Amino acid sequence: MTTDKPRPATDKPAPATPLEFGIAEQVALYQREFPTVDPQVETIVQTLNRVSRRMGVAYDRQLTVLGITSAEWEVLKALVVAGSPYQLGPGELAKRLGLTPAAMTHRIDRMVADGLVTRERDENNRVRVIIELTETGRDKWLESMRMAAVFEEELLQDVAGEDRAALSAMLGRMLRRIEESRPDAPGRTPGQA
């Protein structure tokens, strides 16, 4: 029979979540298990992946400050991009966002309740419903863009002038290659809202 001994006071409890490996360490671990992996390619890909994830977290925090979700921001963006008078039908919104009509209705219900959009019947066609951006919704979208611009400028502070143009061109080529080789991968996984 074994007895559990109390841990010495110097023992620290295990962290609640595992720490993320540094990129060089992660690439070295990949090479250990898959020796033919190109460390330079893997370093670039892992760095892009982490930048993307951390950007997503930063944007979500900014939206939380504004009291909106990223899903709501997508609706606001679709209405802004549609141009003045910032109106679309729910079906068109659902199509643009890759959502089911039911998911779109649920999202619009919340946004109407929060005063971000209105939902009215078209006076010329009583069957048609129009979703319109409110002043509050537009203000929140504009403020999110201001906050994002500050964050993005900080993010790219070490990349200036011609380097920004070169980075933009390289990333554009990478994106086009993915889009051309995988046209069925628009950026959302099935079921992602």
Residue 38 has pLDDT above 90, yes or no: yes
d(CA 99, CA 105): 10
Kindly state the tokens that stand for 175.
């994106």
Strand pairing report for 87-88 and 125-133: antiparallel
Averaged pLDDT score across all residues of the chain: 88
What's the average model confidence in pLDDT over 7-24? 62
Instruction: Judge contact between 87 and 175, C-beta under 8 A.
Output: no
Query: pLDDT (tens digit, 9 = 90+) per residue, 133-188?
Result: 999 999 999 999 999 999 999 999 999 999 999 999 999 999 999 889 987 755 54
Greater confidence (191 vs 94) lies with 94
> How big is the chain, counted in residues?
193
Sign of CA dihedral 183, 185, 190, 191: negative
Kindly state the tokens that stand for 93.
């919104």
Residue 129 has pLDDT above 70, yes or no: yes
Phi, psi at residue 185, to the nearest 5°? -115, 80
Instruction: Judge contact between 111 and 104, C-beta under 8 A.
Output: no
Q: Give the confidence band of 12 by pLDDT, cuts at 50, 70, 90.
A: low
Three-state secondary-structure class, residue 138: helix
Sign of CA dihedral 154, 155, 156, 158: positive
The CATH architecture assigned to 25-158 reads: Orthogonal Bundle (1.10)
List, in order, residues 6 or more apart from 137 with CB less than 8 Å away: 76, 79, 111, 115, 116, 117
CB atoms within 10 A of CB 146: 11
